[in-house]
Amino acid sequence: MGPARGRSSTREDALRAATRNLRDLARQSAWQRALGYLQAMPDENLRPNVFSFGAALSACERGSQWLSALLLLQDMDHRSVQRDVISCSAAISACEKSAAWQSALVLVQTMTSSEIRCDVVCLGAAVAALAAGSEWSRALHMARQMEEASVPPNVVAYGSALKACELSRGWKQALALLREMEDRQVPPNAICFNSTISACEKSARWEWALEVLWQMQVRRLPADVISYSAASSACEKCAQWQWSLHLLDDMLHLRIEPDSYTYASSISEYQLYGCVNDCLDWERLLKETYDFEETRVLIDQYPDGSPTESGAQLPTRANILAQLGGWLVAGAQPGDVLVFVFAGHGCQAKWGR
């Protein structure tokens, strides 16, 4: 009996060593090597167990290989290796990374029928898979199912549900979920806040977008260009250009580099109307109050949105210089009064070639 126990102990040691090697490959995201290693184990008289399969599934999950992960689960069944929540969660996470939401749902249903209790990681990954596949209503429904199953959603599950709200323009649901996180003492991260701001932006709820951004700052979470761009876009959609400019100034003060979308939101056609009105008011003042005989105005378009009559009226660099040097000062005599007014918005931007 002694030699038999020795052989058994040696085989168990070899199996543990093989599992450690598989975990190392998983950490390297070397899923192909992990699958090859797992398949070669029987040649070494090693029978893969649930831990070996779990390590190989983790490698597939890290490599976003959802189909290989599903085949591994089938291989487990073929070898009579009992699935557990860890192996199933890894397969669901692989589906999530590839937006294979149908397979993720089938796995959850299989776990339920096999009496494998789904934990927060497993269901959170399923919610994320649904959100990644743009199945917004299903994602929200599954998030609610987590509560019914007495599985408290974590920040990942909430983040996925909030992403679903963003994509479906569900700004009210997003705000409710954010409040629910506070009530359940699940601290929202920057991703949760950004999804909520974007949900408000897509529904043109600029007041709520600013409120959520402010709440983000109160919690000292690092707002980034995504946060400010979404809030600025919400303001632009509602013609709140003063707030857009304030947000742009805030970004520059915090040394957050604005992107081209943020600049476009802050300096859009809504803002240009104020500049156009300034120019037309100056023309009216000079003619009606100070009896100027001739004035010239270069503008992009009129306040009603109609374009200028010709290209010569556009405030381009060439047109401005031509009017200054060729018309305004031409024939000027001592005692004449010449007036030049510029109205516009400006901002700082990096020079790019």
The DSSP line for 62-126 is: HTT-HHHHHHHHHHHHHTTPPP-HHHHHHHHHHHHHTT-HHHHHHHHHHHHHTT----HHHHHHH
Domain-embedded: residue 32: no
Domain-embedded: residue 191: no
Alpha-carbon distance values, 140 to 5, 69, 165, 174, 343 (Å): 54, 25, 8, 10, 49
Interatomic CA distance for residues 351 and 75, integer angstroms? 57
Q: How confident is the model at residue 303 (pLDDT cuts 50, 70, 90)?
A: low
> CB within 8 A of 323, min separation 6: which ones?
296, 298
pLDDT at residue 3 greater than cutoff 50: no
pLDDT at residue 212 greater than cutoff 90: yes
Mean pLDDT of 178-186: 84
Mean pLDDT of 51-75: 90
Q: How confident is the model at residue 16 (pLDDT cuts 50, 70, 90)?
A: confident
How many angstroms from the chain centroid is the CA of residue 213? 15
269 against 345, higher pLDDT: 345
291 dihedral zone (left: phi>0; alpha: psi -120 to 50; beta): left
Q: How confident is the model at residue 270 (pLDDT cuts 50, 70, 90)?
A: very low
* pTM (predicted TM-score): 0.50
Domain-embedded: residue 13: no
Number of structural domains in the chain: 1
Tallying the residues shown for the chain, one arrives at 353
Interatomic CA distance for residues 195 and 107, integer angstroms? 27
Give the end-to-end CA distance of the chain in Å, rounded to a whole number: 80
Domain-embedded: residue 92: no
Are 188 and 220 in contact, with CB atoms under 8 Å apart? no
Q: What is the pLDDT of residue 163?
A: 79
Lowest mean per-residue pLDDT among 131-135, 212-216, 249-253 = 131-135
Range of the domain at 287: 268-353
pLDDT, one tens digit per residue, over 86-96 is 888 888 888 88
pLDDT at residue 173 greater than cutoff 90: no
User: In whole numbers, what is the pLDDT of the chain averaged over residues?
Assistant: 80
Q: What is the pLDDT of residue 239?
A: 74
Lowest mean per-residue pLDDT among 45-54, 101-110, 225-234 = 101-110
How many angstroms from the chain centroid is the CA of residue 348? 26
Domain-embedded: residue 173: no
Partners of residue 307 on adjacent β-strands: 301
Domain-embedded: residue 347: yes
Q: How confident is the model at residue 2 (pLDDT cuts 50, 70, 90)?
A: very low
Q: What is the pLDDT of residue 200?
A: 92
pLDDT at residue 265 greater than cutoff 80: no
Instruction: Using a pLDDT cut of 90, give the percent of the chain over it.
Output: 8
Q: How confident is the model at residue 149 (pLDDT cuts 50, 70, 90)?
A: low
Q: How confident is the model at residue 207 (pLDDT cuts 50, 70, 90)?
A: very high
Q: What is the pLDDT of residue 5?
A: 46
Domain-embedded: residue 24: no
Q: How confident is the model at residue 130 (pLDDT cuts 50, 70, 90)?
A: confident
Domain-embedded: residue 48: no
Mean pLDDT of 270-297: 78
Angle at 181 between CA 91 and CA 203, to 5 degrees: 90
- Reported in sequence order, the residue ranges of 209-347 that DSSP labels E, i.e. its strands, are none
Select, from the ranges 138-147, 223-232, 258-267, 337-346, the one with the highest average predicted confidence (pLDDT): 223-232
